[in-house]
Structures are given as structure tokens and as C-alpha cells.
Structure 1
């Protein structure tokens, strides 16, 4: 298994064999789901509902960190929250087959939430608050944090080490990221200490599925430690939406409104991380196919411009 092509051997037959190894009986139906960091398949079963098979990217998380994700998901499910937790086989949720680590979970369908709806925003606010109530009960020991090292320094080094960034843009890119980093640090210092807790970590609309009975959250792969506002800002498209989201949140749990001033910093950190993530994964064949724009110099010019705009907002 190569670090550059970690999923080269993950064939449909291997996926079916891994599910069969758990004592399940696939019926041969496979559907590859939209995932780049890991590989995720919907697998049909004979006389049973389909399962979701998630194959973890080698080297990204330690076994201990993955098990923390599973434990957190199960805590949330045990608290009767609509969060999908992995299934257990012979007492284990983290499974191994032919050099791959994977987990199986029930399939829960749904549609995208309507973030223009005040009722849905309030509902999401209440649900996130309840997730945070559970998240605040204990701490992660092995998973990452929402910090500058993870979301700025490492991604910047990945970009500078990549051939994607045009040579003529290197100095301007470095200057833009260093400016963002300096201003993000200043913003966090100005806000002062904030409470941190276990978070979903990647709470964008694609990780929320809505059904007739309400929303449920999927994909805790980016669960980290950070401020509560991290799980809110990506669901609010404007200030009014954030107000409605927080109205629902505050009905269940107190929220420190000083954290709202962190949103421009969190947005800028995510933007730096996004480019670094693509650069770091470019040798994975799925990435050039999914993000062809990253091979174009004009995209990097726009990225540098966007970083300066984020810095202007912070300034």
C-alpha cells in the first residue's frame, strides 16, 4: 500500500469481503459515496437494510483517535441524539481487513436541510447544543484541536512542498498565509480564553441529513476539540441566520457570545487548510479528478487574493 495511492487495492471485491468477514451477507450491490479523505461505500445486504462501510485513510488518525470518534458517536447515540454510530462486531467497532481499517454503520438517508427556514435553524441550534452538552462531559486525549498549527502551519508547508503552487506565486502565497496567521493569533489573543469541548468539528450542511422526523448528523471523522462556535458558523449564511441558530442553541445551553468574534479567524483558517489539504493529497488519483482547478495558476492567484481579503476582515 503506497502513501501516494493508499486505496489502489480497495476493489469492490475487497469491500464485499470486508463486510462478509463481519458475518453479514452482501447481495452484491455497491454504491460509492462522495468522500475523498476516506473511502465510503453503501453495501446492500441480503434480507437486511444496507450498511455504510467507511475505510479510513492510512496514516491520518491513530487507532486510538478513531476509537475516540466511535466512543463519542456512541455517547451521543446513547443520549438519544440523532447521530449515526458505528456497529459493533465481536466487541469491536474498528475493524481490520487486508491491511485496511474500516467501520460499518447503519444507513440513514435524508435530504439537505433548508437553511433559509427559521424553524430548521432553531432545530439545528437545539440539536448542536445537546451535542455540546455531551461533548463537555469529558475530553479527547488522542484527537486534534482547532488551532493554528493544525489549520495554518501544516497546510502552508504542504502547499509550499507541492508542485501545484506556481514558483512565481510562492513568496506572495507565503506572505498571505503569514499575514493571516499573525492576525488569527491576534484575534484569539484579543478574545482571551474560551471554553473548549469535544465537537462534531465539520458541521457543514453536507453532514446534516433531514427527514420527516427531523435532522441527524453524520461523519464525525473531523471531531476535534475547540470552541462551540466552530459547530455553528458553517450553518449560518448571514448574521440573521446565526441569530436564529443561537436562539435555538441558547434554549438548551449557554453560549458565550464573545466567541462570535472568532468566526472570521475560523473562516480564514479553514480556507488555508482547504488548499493545504488538496496539495497534501494530490497524489491520490481521486484528487486531480475532483479538484482539477488546483492545477491552474489562476486558482492560486485567486486563493492568495481571498486570503488577503480574509486578513482585511480580521484587521
Structure 2
């Protein structure tokens, strides 16, 4: 077990509760681990019968400046009356805390259910909010957060998988040739799309990061916020057959364009971005494979079957990228 895992191994219940107490809260002893693998996230009970959420950042993943930039973006969205769950600040305005060598943030607990993306009204609602998020996102650039691009999500992920020896020998040639061809396809798609504006994004806007109540949606987990094209926050809400995705896309953009114009050229990036995410996701699992929590949560990773299915999925993406872009 390396230094990183030794660090998380020291994050026991007592340390978690003491860290929350250190910020002036009186914990009740209730602690529930929530579904998070990149970081460690807990629901904490308070003596007044309330709850809050404590998020302990994975050591060495982000700099303090990058985390504070995420928190500042959250606060900008809150000030724009966009329903984002932002971290709590102390009386000095600080949102990033440290205890026993761990960096952490505290959040109010907000409940909700996954959104019903088969409902056109819900899609239009989400489109309106996304446009407003992007209006805030374009007002200034990130200084410390990364960019979503072919190099970071594609090339570096591919190289890490190869250099780490994750690909089974009998699949090595197939994987290399396929991903190299895909990266060329993606580069060509970006070139054909022409000049695309990039801005601050949520970055990981999948349904699991949207909580729905009777009052509507609210958004959580900007841990992966970064700079990229607006369509990155849109395509992750699309799934199913091509006709189903086109219909959902039309509903999203109808709401989006009530507040912000959408550049139709970005539609050509939907399948390239989906392909980059698939390559990046495999590398993310590989990078975290020394963490025992990943072995428990993803026991199917790094098996021959996993890589065979991954290659098959990437081949399907090669075909998808050869199809015309979705239309609105």
C-alpha cells in the first residue's frame, strides 16, 4: 500500500468527526459514508438533529488554489441564484479546511432524487439552468483548473494505460491501433468544428450530480469543474437511440437558448467527447487501482473481459463518429 492509501487508511471515523467539530459544529456521532471514490464523503449527524456533508479531498490530486477556485465558482453560481450546493464558509470566509493532514470542505445536506430525463419539461428546465451556469462561466477564466482537451483526456490517458501494463498482451496491438485511430478522428472532428469558445464548466454533469425535488433541480459536485466547450455539460444528459438523443437534445437546447445562444458547430463534438470520456474513465480506474476502495467498488476492472468490452465500446464509438452529428 503506497503513501496515498496509508493517508486514507488514517481517515477513521474519529478523525472525520473531530475535523467537523474543529469547525465549531457539535457532532452526534452519526456518520454515513456516501457513494464517492475519488474523494471520501460522509454524511455527519449534528447534536441539533441536523446533518451536513464532509468531503475529504484525495491527497495530491488538486492544489489548494484549484480547490478554492472550485469553491469560488460555486459561490458565483449561488450569487446568480442558480441552485448549486456550495461549501460552507467560516467567519473568515474560508471554505477549505485542514485537520490531521487532510484537506476537507463542509456542505449543507440536500436531498433529492435522480431527474426524470424522459420528461421534456425537465430537460427544458435543465437547459435553462445550464445556460445560466455557462453565462457565469464565461465571465472569467479559470487560473488553476485544467482544460478538457484531447491531450489530457485522450493522449495522456492512453499513455498511462499502456505504460502501466494494464492491457493484456493478446489485446495490446488491437488497443494501440484502435485508440491511435480514434485520437486522429477526434483531432479531425475538432479541426472541422472550427473555432469553439471554451468557458468554465460543471465538467461532470451526469444525472447522478443532479438532485430533483418538488421545487426543481439542484446541482452538486463541481469537483471536476474545468475549462471546455459548452456541449460537454449537455451531451452527458443524452442516452438511448440516436432518435431519442436528438429529441432530448432539442428539448435541452430549447431551454438553453432562452438565456444563451448555443453554437451548433459544437454538435460535431458530442461523440468525440464521449469517446474521450471513455478513454479517460479507463485511465482513471487504472490510476486509482492501488486504492483498496476501487478493488471493492470495481472488481470487474482490469480483467480480460473488461478490456475486451472496452475495446468493443471504442470500436462502436469509431462508427458513431463517422455518422453525421445530431441535429436540433
Smaller-chain TM-score range?
over 0.9
Listed as ranges, the matches of 1:51-130 within 5 Å are: 51-89=52-90, 90-130=92-132
Structure 1 residues 154-174: Cα deviation after superposition (integer angstroms, max 9, x where no partner): 211221233542122222212
Unaligned runs of 5+ in 2: 240-244, 323-328
Please name the residue that 2:242 is paired with.
none
Tell me the residue number matched to 1:26. 27
1:1-315 equivalences under 5 Å are 2-47=3-48, 49-89=50-90, 90-237=92-239, 238-315=245-322
Cα deviation, 1:197-233, whole Å, max 9, x if unaligned, reads: 1000000000000011000000000001011110011
C-alpha distance in 2 between matches for 1:70 and 1:276? 26
- Extract structure 1 runs of 4+ deviating beyond 4 A: none
| Mapped partners of 2:189, 2:134: distance in 1 | 24
Supply the distance in 1 between the matched residues of 2:147 and 2:38 (Cα, whole angstroms): 18
Structure 1 stretches of 5 or more lacking a match? none
**How big is the shift at 1:151?**
0.6
Give the TM-score, by structure 2 length: 0.93
Contact 1:5/1:284 (8 A) holds in 2? no
Aligned length: 315
Residue 6 of structure 1: CA displacement? 4.0
CA separation in 2, counterparts of 1:163 and 1:44? 43
- Cα deviation digits, residues 29-68 of structure 1 (max 9, x gap): 1111100111100101111521110011111111111010
